[in-house]
């Protein structure tokens, strides 16, 4: 599992110097059980099951502040995305199903929101 995450994300978690800037900058901090710096550390330590079981990754907005501010170029968002992608690929159902969005289709919702959400929350 760890090797697969490292392969598809292209991230080297050993570059992390644990400064915590990623987590300090993260706009989804309050909603995450595991924060960006913990994704880096836990993937490195092969402590991946808790990440898969947590819902933290669904709150990542891919805003890339963690990546921009990392002084070591670690790209924590890629690890969060990799965990999410592996979970979706392994699971039997999608997190977001077409029937789920019917009641969210308010007249002003842009297509972009639907496209992005289906890419992020389904296979």
Partner 1 sequence: MVYSYYPGCTLKTKAKKLDRYARDCAQIFEIELEEIEDWQCCGGVYPGMADELATRLSPVRALREAGDKKQDLVTVCSACHHVIKRVNEDVKTSGEIRRKINAYLEPENGYEGETKVIHYLELLRDRIGFDRIREKVKQPLNGKKIAPYYGCLLLRPYDVMNFDDPENPSIMEEFLLAIGAKPVHYALKNECCGGYVTMEDEEFASKKSSSIMEAAMDQGAESMITACPLCKYNLENSGLKNGIPVYYFTELLAEALGVKEQEEGT
Structure tokens at 21: 């800037």
Among 64, 90, 94, 123, binds partner 1 (CB under 8 A): 64
Q: How far is the CB of 120 from partner 1 (least distance, A)?
A: 6
How far is residue 63's CA from residue 21's CA, in Å, rounded to a whole number?
14
Three-class secondary structure assignment of 66-81 = HHHHCCCCCCHHHHHH
For position 90 contacting partner 1 by CB under 8 A, the verdict is: no
For position 77 contacting partner 1 by CB under 8 A, the verdict is: yes
Q: Where are the beta strands (DSSP E) in 13-66?
A: none
Write out the residues near partner 1 by the rule CB under 8 A: 7-10, 27-28, 31, 58-59, 61-65, 67-68, 77-78, 81-82, 85, 96, 101, 104, 108-117, 119-121
């Amino acid at each position: 599992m760890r090797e697969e995450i490292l392969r598809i994300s292209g991230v080297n978690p050993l570059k992390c110097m644990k400064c915590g800037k990623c987590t300090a900058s993260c706009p989804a901090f309050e909603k995450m059980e595991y924060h960006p710096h913990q994704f880096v550390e836990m993937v490195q330590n092969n402590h991946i099951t808790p990440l898969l079981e947590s819902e933290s990754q669904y709150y990542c907005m891919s805003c890339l502040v963690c990546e921009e501010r990392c002084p070591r170029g670690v790209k924590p968002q890629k690890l969060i995305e990799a965990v999410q992608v592996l979970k979706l690929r392994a699971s039997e159902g999608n997190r977001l199903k077409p029937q789920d969005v019917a009641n969210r289709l308010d007249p002003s919702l842009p297509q972009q929101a639907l496209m992005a959400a289906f890419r992020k929350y389904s296979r």
